[in-house]
């Protein structure tokens, strides 16, 4: 693809409404550039959108936002932004390449060819060699092999050492020879767009099962084809497969917002009797198009459904910590106890009061500290938005005798909920440009053994996965149902990569191509951050033993928290579990890290295993802050910090058996 470059130079070369925009628009534009430098592409998109809001004719902002959308695989939005620029400034260098790349990723190969041909005509085309190569790839998708070879050759003529074009040409020539010799199936495979078209036609004939099969094939070829997810969801809705339809429409909206996706998802939710959530989707669709008929009708239906419901029940209250030891009684030696729990109600939870004082409330989860006397009664009152209340009482008392270590550990484990671990190791790579590594799979096996055998973790290990398999597995974990105090540990070991042009780090999967565009070939850290943040587990800890792993955080943050003094282990855990955890630990910052000698683990994993094998010491509790000192003497020094949604004071807790 045409690598995105900043427009600082172009702003002097090309007169633009954006340059003449009022200061506020220009200010937002500059903030967006800074966000891109920091690797925060989603933040950059937000600032570009603000600039466009101030100046709807800001071509530079549309252009840059288009490339940010491409970098975050939101190809429909990217194509729309580039089209906006083309409508007003067709000679804008790189704009046709941008739209061509987006269309190529969406499976619209004929349209991509047309755009690449337009870009090649532009004398100010910044990267003609890459443009010819990408045009060749589009022709190859259309099975116009002679034209594809012609443009690969032109790319090589312009850039004699351009390995991507050389490899593309050589592989295509081998394919053509094999076809002539009858060594491959001469019946060509359809493109994703062609399968999509067949699915759409079948859907129009009400042949929904057939349509789904075609959409399945389109998605197998192009995992980011938004329209295929939209229409497969619609076909499943028609067949009454509502949960599957909802999953497809969720995925479609991850790839890009549209009024049709929101409206259709609202219809699915109405079938699932979730009128409140459906109403929000119809409202989102109407924000995009206030006159969208399906959304207007859906909104009326959702409001009618909600008005017919009479909620007379108060919220359900669950106390998650401390652990109730005798009915509704809690035994503790602490003079101050943190009460945590969750309140749920179909009308939403407005407030939770604990002994008459408002508790901290976040999405139904609540917590508050209570001072303890000889025998203290705690009254928890939860109220919904309809005014219905529920009360739960519990008693806090000192135990007759100090609890044994064994019983304390059992209590701690029950406070914690379930622990899950996803371990990903890659040491073999299809592209020989990436060297085979000695230890990643052995490392994840060792970590898996410790967590499963000694720390009550339910572990899953995947080895040598492709990029698509990593993303699919993370999405699988995002769809799991987690309880309030459950924890998820994610460990990744393998090659890493940092691209100076994009200022972005990447995880290299087993199918990563060395000299390809990194956003296509590898898993970018910006996407990894988004995937981890969207997992619906309150406490998530990401550990990565890869080169340049520290760039998972654009600021390479380094923060820690001290343990509380003079409280029991159970109370310490209760306090820590109040806050949402999105913490990370990586084997280095913006540098290469050692893989170590074969069979002896990487230096990072050796120290991580050493920390785990302390088994938490006397209290059998190991926190992130306990682990960090084990890495102080490694060179380069590992980095640790917070991801986007982390709450101050959070932690991740390992309790040994």
Rama region for 263: left / alpha / beta (φ>0; ψ in -120 to 50; rest): alpha
User: Within 10 A of 249 (CB to CB), how many other CB atoms are there?
Assistant: 28
SS3 content of the chain, % helix, strand, coil (to 5): 45, 15, 35
> Could you tell me the CATH number of the domain that includes residue 564?
3.40.50.1460
Residue 284 lies in a domain: no
d(CA 17, CA 526): 30
User: Could you tell me the strand order of the sheet in which 639-642 lies?
Assistant: 457-463, 419-425, 487-493, 539-545, 581-586, 639-642
Residue 213 pLDDT greater than 80, yes or no: yes
Q: Residue 291: which residues within 8 A CB-CB, separation 6 or more?
A: none
207-210: which pairs have CB atoms within 8 A and are 24 or more residues apart? 208/235, 208/236, 208/238, 208/239, 209/239
Asked which of 130-134, 237-241, 371-375, 478-482 is least confident by mean pLDDT, the reply is 371-375
Return the SS3 of 274.
Answer: coil
Name the DSSP class of 371: E
Residue 191 lies in a domain: no
**Residues 599 and 638 both lie in one domain:** yes
> Residue 332's pLDDT is what?
62
Return the SS3 of 532.
Answer: helix
Listed residues 371, 387, 402: the one ending a domain: 402
Residue 279 lies in a domain: no
**Residues 44 and 141 both lie in one domain:** yes
How many degrees, rounded to 5, is the angle at CA 553 between CA 421 and CA 8?
145
Residue 185 lies in a domain: no
> Could you tell me the CATH number of the domain that includes residue 369?
2.60.40.10
Q: How far is CA 512 from CA 429, 495, 655, in A?
A: 7, 10, 37
Residue 309 lies in a domain: no
d(CA 478, CA 535): 4
**Residues 570 and 527 both lie in one domain:** yes
Listed residues 148, 180, 212: the one ending a domain: 180
Domain encompassing residue 371: 316-402
The predicted model gives 649-653 an average pLDDT of 79
**Residues 526 and 546 both lie in one domain:** yes
Tens of pLDDT, residues 621-644:
888 888 888 776 666 667 777 776
Q: How far is CA 422 from CA 187, 303, 476, 497, in A?
A: 41, 41, 11, 22
pLDDT exceeding 70 applies to what percent of the chain?
80
Listed residues 402, 423, 441: the one ending a domain: 402
Which residue has tokens 């106390």?
319
Q: Residue 328: which residues within 8 A CB-CB, separation 6 or more?
A: 392, 393, 394, 395
Name the DSSP class of 656: -
Cis-peptide, bond into residue 636, ω within 30° of zero: yes
**Residues 352 and 448 both lie in one domain:** no
> Residue 552's pLDDT is what?
46
**Residues 446 and 325 both lie in one domain:** no
Closest of 285, 291, 256, 287 to residue 268, by C-alpha? 285
Residue 202 lies in a domain: no
Closest of 47, 62, 54, 83 to residue 16, by C-alpha? 62
The predicted model gives 22-39 an average pLDDT of 80
Tens of pLDDT, residues 396-410:
776 555 444 444 444
pTM above 0.85, yes or no: no
User: Within 10 A of 326 (CB to CB), how many other CB atoms are there?
Assistant: 9
**Residues 614 and 493 both lie in one domain:** yes
**Residues 387 and 415 both lie in one domain:** no
d(CA 533, CA 190): 36
How many degrees, rounded to 5, is the angle at CA 158 between CA 152 and CA 164?
45
Residue 647 pLDDT greater than 80, yes or no: no
d(CA 274, CA 28): 38
Tens of pLDDT, residues 91-131:
778 889 999 988 888 777 888 898 999 888 888 877 888 99
**Residues 596 and 468 both lie in one domain:** yes
Residue 554 lies in a domain: yes
**Residues 533 and 641 both lie in one domain:** yes
Asked which of 41-55, 348-362, 564-578 is least confident by mean pLDDT, the reply is 564-578
Q: At what angle do helices 41-54 and 23-37 cross, to 10 degrees?
A: 170
Number of structural domains, the chain? 3
> Residue 382's pLDDT is what?
92
* Confidence grade of residue 46 (pLDDT, cut at 50, 70, 90): confident
Q: How far is CA 131 from CA 82, 123, 284, 599, in A?
A: 16, 13, 38, 45
> Could you tell me the CATH number of the domain that includes residue 76?
1.25.40.10
CA torsion sign for 319, 321, 325, 326 is negative
Q: What DSSP letter does each residue of 284-337 carry, written as one string?
A: HHHHH-TT-HHHHHHHHHHHHHHHT----PPPEEEEEESPPSBTTEEE---SEE
**Residues 391 and 491 both lie in one domain:** no
Q: What is the CA radius of gyration of the chain?
A: 28
* Confidence grade of residue 153 (pLDDT, cut at 50, 70, 90): very high
Q: How far is CA 534 from CA 429, 461, 472, in A?
A: 28, 21, 13
> Residue 15's pLDDT is what?
36
**Residues 345 and 423 both lie in one domain:** no
Residue 270 lies in a domain: no
CA torsion sign for 17, 91, 127, 74 is positive
Residue 361 pLDDT greater than 70, yes or no: yes
């Amino acid at each position: 693809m045409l690598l995105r470059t900043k427009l600082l130079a172009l702003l002097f070369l090309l007169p633009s409404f954006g340059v003449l925009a009022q200061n506020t628009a220009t200010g937002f534009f500059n903030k967006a550039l800074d966000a891109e430098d920091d690797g925060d592409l989603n933040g950059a998109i937000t600032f570009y959108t603000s600039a466009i809001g101030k100046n709807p004719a800001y071509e530079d902002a549309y252009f840059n936002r288009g490339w940010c959308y491409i970098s975050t695989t939101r190809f429909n939005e990217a194509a729309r932004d580039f089209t906006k620029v083309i409508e007003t400034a067709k000679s804008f260098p790189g704009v046709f390449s941008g739209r061509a790349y987006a269309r190529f990723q969406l499976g619209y190969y004929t349209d991509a060819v047309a755009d690449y041909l337009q870009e090649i005509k532009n004398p100010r085309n910044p990267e003609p060699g890459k443009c010819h190569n990408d045009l060749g790839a589009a022709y190859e998708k259309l099975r116009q092999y002679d034209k594809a070879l012609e443009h690969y050759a032109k790319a090589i003529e312009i850039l004699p050492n351009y390995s991507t074009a050389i490899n593309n040409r050589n592989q295509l020539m081998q394919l053509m020879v094999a076809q002539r010799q009858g060594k491959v199936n001469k019946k060509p495979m359809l493109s994703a767009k062609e399968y999509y078209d067949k699915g759409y036609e079948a859907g129009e004939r009400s042949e929904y099962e057939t349509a789904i099969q075609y959409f399945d094939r389109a998605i197998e070829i192009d995992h980011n084809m938004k329209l295929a997810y939209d229409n497969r969801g619609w076909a499943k809705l028609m067949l009454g497969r509502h949960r599957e339809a909802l999953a497809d429409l969720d995925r479609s909206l991850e790839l890009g917002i549209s009024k049709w996706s929101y409206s259709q998802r609202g219809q699915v939710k109405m079938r699932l009797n979730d009128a409140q959530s459906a109403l929000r989707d119809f409202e989102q669709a109407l924000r995009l198009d206030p006159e969208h008929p399906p959304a207007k009708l859906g909104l009326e239906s959702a409001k009618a459904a909600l008005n017919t419901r009479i909620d007379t029940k108060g919220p359900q209250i669950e106390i998650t910590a401390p652990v109730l030891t005798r009915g509704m009684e809690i035994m503790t030696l602490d003079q101050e106890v943190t009460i945590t729990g969750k309140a749920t109600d179909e009308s939403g939870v407005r407030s939770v009061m604990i002994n008459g004082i408002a508790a901290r409330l976040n999405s139904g989860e609540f917590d508050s500290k209570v001072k303890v006397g000889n025998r203290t009664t705690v009254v928890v009152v939860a109220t919904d938005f309809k005014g219905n209340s529920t009360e739960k009482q519990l008693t806090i008392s000192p135990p007759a005798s100090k609890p044994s270590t064994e019983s304390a550990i059992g209590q701690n484990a029950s406070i914690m909920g379930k622990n899950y671990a996803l371990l990903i190791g890659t040491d073999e790579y299809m592209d020989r440009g990436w060297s085979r590594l000695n230890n990643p799979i052995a490392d994840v096996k060792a970590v898996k053994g410790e967590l499963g055998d000694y720390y009550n973790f339910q572990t899953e290990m995947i080895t040598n996965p492709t990029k698509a398999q990593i993303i699919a597995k993370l999405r699988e974990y995002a769809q799991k149902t987690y309880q309030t105090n459950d924890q998820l540990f994610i460990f990744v070991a393998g090659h890493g990569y940092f691209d100076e042009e994009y200022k972005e780090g990447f995880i290299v999967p087993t199918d990563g191509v060395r000299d390809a565009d990194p956003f296509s070939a590898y898993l970018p850290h910006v996407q990894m951050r988004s995937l981890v943040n969207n997992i619906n587990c309150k406490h998530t800890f990401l550990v990565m033993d890869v080169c340049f792993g520290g760039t998972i955080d654009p600021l390479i943050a380094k923060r820690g928290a001290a343990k509380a003094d003079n409280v029991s282990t159970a109370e310490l855990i209760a306090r820590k579990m109040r806050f949402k955890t999105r913490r990370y630990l990586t084997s280095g910052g913006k540098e290469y890290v050692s893989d170590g000698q074969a069979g002896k683990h990487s230096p990072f994993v050796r120290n991580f295993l050493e920390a785990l094998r302390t088994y938490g010491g006397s209290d059998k509790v190991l926190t992130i802050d306990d682990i960090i000192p084990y890495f102080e003497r490694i060179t380069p020094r590992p980095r640790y910090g917070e991801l986007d949604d982390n709450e101050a004071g959070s932690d991740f807790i390992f309790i040994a058996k």
